[in-house]
Structure 1
């Protein structure tokens, strides 16, 4: 086996191996040659070559999302590193472990006019858990080992992105046959998140309250033990609101939040206003629930998370720094069931909304709403469902998705920039077949994602193409002006067909209602290679259909 003759390369490679960080996404370059040689020549690593650094980072993000352990990205010096930033920000806010490794020039070559050189140290300071800035030379070996151990352990322990910057002097391609250094591996800590608070005080307040709301954000599937789900669902003083990305299911939960609250009047919001709000999970999609809870705040807001708590509704007064299962294990035995109709009255409204929803589905014209309805009704069970941001994730909140389907979306920063790359990385790492649904702007924005040699044969991609950013027609503001068309909706006449052909996807297309149901059925039934279904919808109809929906379900 070959090794780079650079001690720093050997040190980092060995520590990654010791810590089971074995998925490495490499983008080509010369300055990172010692790292590329170190990782790629060692068969203990699974190495992937992706040219576009932005795509590479999101691909790694998708893998880490599924593997539940750090994935590393490696790049050369200069602006290549800056292309990682969108995925780093997403990893930072979504608590996904990402190890960013950048090669650099020695410090005496910075800011002297040398090519492909920028100030790389601490470049991600605002959105990184740790920045390890190594120095070349044997005299810095102990310092470098310490920095690398801290960085890699931070990614493991705190589930987030870290940056390791390593300078290499030339020559860069020299190799040796034997390993020259054996760095000390400081094992990461497995920290138990014990509850330090006296829960009896909180239980007393809980038991005296007849309106308790539980709001669940982004969660990985199976994050909450089922017996806790059942216990929350049977308490009539508790109303649980979840979203598609919560991956939490029960018939007594409200899974379509906007469907429930969008048509409500002031007196309805007063009845919905909780005494206590308990939140767990990551980001919440619904802007309407945020607006409601800020306008009609609870008396107390408690958040459960072992790492952080956002004061989303401006009334946060308790952060339990533990896991949700640990919290419920300790807390629920101290609670009693209150006599209340809080849950039952809102579940009755939910049933009414669903009846109206079914009627509306049967009479709407060909539109995005109809397309999403048909897709989710025919979506096979036991799938991983990746969703892009903007309109796609919002439409998904309105439809029933089978509990065996695992749902994911980049909600940390809610950007459209890397959704396709993330879906491909997740598809590669997942044991479930993957379906990815995206809008046209998000798809074309990240079209380099398809420049990828690791696309699973069962990967299915659905593009809803309404000729622009249709979500802007739903938002307030003047429509149908030249400024709106050009700078907000950004109208276009692009198609995914040529991209599908170039990257080896089987392409199919729908343009009208008559073929919609059958084409979707055929799309899901064929598994002879990665496939892309492009569904064209009329841009001027979609906004009216969606806005009328919230009036109709009242």
Structure 2
């Protein structure tokens, strides 16, 4: 059998094995060495294939698909620096729990370290950031197909989260027609082709049952505080109900999807009386990690209850403050099922009243101030029915966390693992494609510039999509930090003096640049009424958002 033909057969078996583990989406970048993988994916009717010309954006597209679907997503790239461009997305997946399968084409061993074109050392390239690695040999009929499928099955069984890196060397020729005919090598798998099941059924390594805490019936009668970090929409609703039944205050992050019953916590947590009240808690139970608010993080680091429990499905400590207590690896919903609440009256009603006063103060102050802060505070008004929200990083996510109260159970997505600004628009595109829901996204101007070519991905959306770009002319978050004044603008803020009208036109997207809240609301409403993507640019004063946050912190402290 010709080398080009056998390369295709090998790749076809590999890709088919992935379908047995729930892989439906495959993200593909152009390249020659990856041809066997690309053509095998295209020929498999079980796959939905996505393409992008930028491997860094492609990795984030896969990340968004995995984030919103909850399924593993495969990525196919060619050899060389194309592989290295997947690094940011796979790092993020390792921190936030998505599953990626990175299929990287490679030169065969005889072309490595000898000056061959586009040949780099790809084995082990992702070091400790890859959850699983599998270095395949050069395709050869001497290795039985059952070895290949069982190797994939074993690696996928160990992929509880993060990335599996499968390095796939292919020798030339890469091109040639597969004229069919007998294929004893792949036919040796027999009924496997029709079964739909893995060849090797290996027990997943993340199937540890939830261990009920034997003293929970005692702790649930004490004064507790619930901290809600990143979790799913369904989990957020359940955690909020659970905390309410217990009568425990709930401090909900912007990504908690709990409805943040004690809203604007990042403002009122700066008050001494609020911290004094919370200090009476005997136990703190945290669900999820990746907290956003600065004051919440400061309180979390300083609190010293008798017990601190952290429940999250990902392993590792996940607590940068290193509290004494219990680190419980479990899915939030499973843990709640095993640890029911005992209905009790709330023990800190003054926090409910303080949160309400803070929210009213914030609304009053921002009522006539159009800009980044007002948009963050009123963001819930713009959300589409039966839709979802994607939030960028840097200043905007902090303003939303501090000023807004998002609806309970409304899906919110972001890249708050490594908290980078790379690949945000690409991730948004993946989230939208995975769910086919109307989607509102909001990012900063530098974030948008960093991933500008991902606007090409937003030309292909299955429901109305709105991307709000807050253009405060640079990295305004650095104005909140004690950066040296003389170097701040050149080395930190980096104003670019651009507008995004031309970017929208370049990629044939709708565009609006509202100058008031009424215009913004009208622009968003019109966008929900048409197909495709609308880019809405908010041109705001550079320091407005950061200065508003500081002003409201002072106002709330004197309520």
Number of the residue aligned with 1:132: 134
Q: CA deviation at 1:484?
A: 1.1
For the Cα contact (< 8 Å) 1:224–1:325, is it kept in 2?
Answer: no
Q: CA deviation at 1:519?
A: 4.1
Which of residues 419, 425, 445 in structure 2 aligns to 1:414?
419
For the Cα contact (< 8 Å) 1:470–1:543, is it kept in 2?
Answer: yes
Number of the residue aligned with 1:5: 6
Is 1:341 paired with 2:347?
Answer: yes
Q: CA deviation at 1:102?
A: 0.3
Which of residues 540, 544, 549 in structure 2 aligns to 1:541?
544
Unaligned runs of 5+ in 2: 193-198
Q: CA deviation at 1:143?
A: 4.6
Q: In the aligned structure 2, how far is the partner of 1:444 from the partner of 1:410?
A: 17
Is 1:282 paired with 2:289?
Answer: yes
Which of residues 261, 270, 277 in structure 2 aligns to 1:271?
277
- 5 Å matches for 1:236-251? 236=247, 238-249=248-259
**TM-score of the two chains, using structure 2 as the length reference:** 0.89
Number of the residue aligned with 1:298: 305
SS in 2 for 1:288: helix
Is 1:551 paired with 2:554?
Answer: yes
Alignment CA distance shift 1:225-1:464 (3 Å): closer
Number of the residue aligned with 2:201: 187
Number of the residue aligned with 1:442: 447
Is 1:353 paired with 2:355?
Answer: no
For the Cα contact (< 8 Å) 1:135–1:144, is it kept in 2?
Answer: no
Which of residues 204, 217, 240 in structure 1 aligns to 2:229?
217
Number of the residue aligned with 1:116: 118
Which of residues 365, 368, 374 in structure 1 aligns to 2:372?
368
Q: CA deviation at 1:358?
A: 2.1
Q: In the aligned structure 2, how far is the partner of 1:16 from the partner of 1:278?
A: 38
Alignment CA distance shift 1:435-1:518 (3 Å): closer
Number of the residue aligned with 1:63: 65
Q: CA deviation at 1:438?
A: 0.9
Unaligned runs of 5+ in 1: none
SS in 1 for 2:384: coil
Number of the residue aligned with 1:462: 468
Q: CA deviation at 1:404?
A: 5.7
Which of residues 315, 319, 342 in structure 2 aligns to 1:311?
319
Is 1:17 paired with 2:19?
Answer: yes
Q: CA deviation at 1:174?
A: 2.9
**TM-score of the two chains, using structure 1 as the length reference:** 0.90
Q: CA deviation at 1:465?
A: 0.5
Q: CA deviation at 1:130?
A: 0.3
Number of the residue aligned with 2:481: 475
For the Cα contact (< 8 Å) 1:428–1:456, is it kept in 2?
Answer: yes
Q: CA deviation at 1:372?
A: 2.7
Q: In the aligned structure 2, how far is the partner of 1:113 from the partner of 1:389?
A: 41
Alignment CA distance shift 1:316-1:116 (3 Å): farther
Which of residues 196, 204, 219 in structure 1 aligns to 2:218?
204
Q: CA deviation at 1:461?
A: 0.9
Q: In the aligned structure 2, how far is the partner of 1:235 from the partner of 1:205?
A: 11
The total of aligned residue pairs comes to 535
Q: CA deviation at 1:475?
A: 2.1
Number of the residue aligned with 2:383: 379
Q: In the aligned structure 1, how far is the partner of 2:241 from the partner of 2:27?
A: 41
SS in 1 for 2:536: strand
For the Cα contact (< 8 Å) 1:5–1:174, is it kept in 2?
Answer: no
Q: In the aligned structure 1, how far is the partner of 2:63 from the partner of 2:202?
A: 21
What CA RMSD, in Å, does the superposition of the two structures yield over aligned residues?
2.4
Q: CA deviation at 1:377?
A: 2.6
Alignment CA distance shift 1:459-1:408 (3 Å): same
Q: CA deviation at 1:458?
A: 1.1
Q: CA deviation at 1:426?
A: 0.8
Q: CA deviation at 1:214?
A: 1.0
Question: Structure 1 residues 112-121 or 275-284, which shifts more?
Answer: 275-284
Is 1:492 paired with 2:507?
Answer: no
Q: CA deviation at 1:400?
A: 2.1
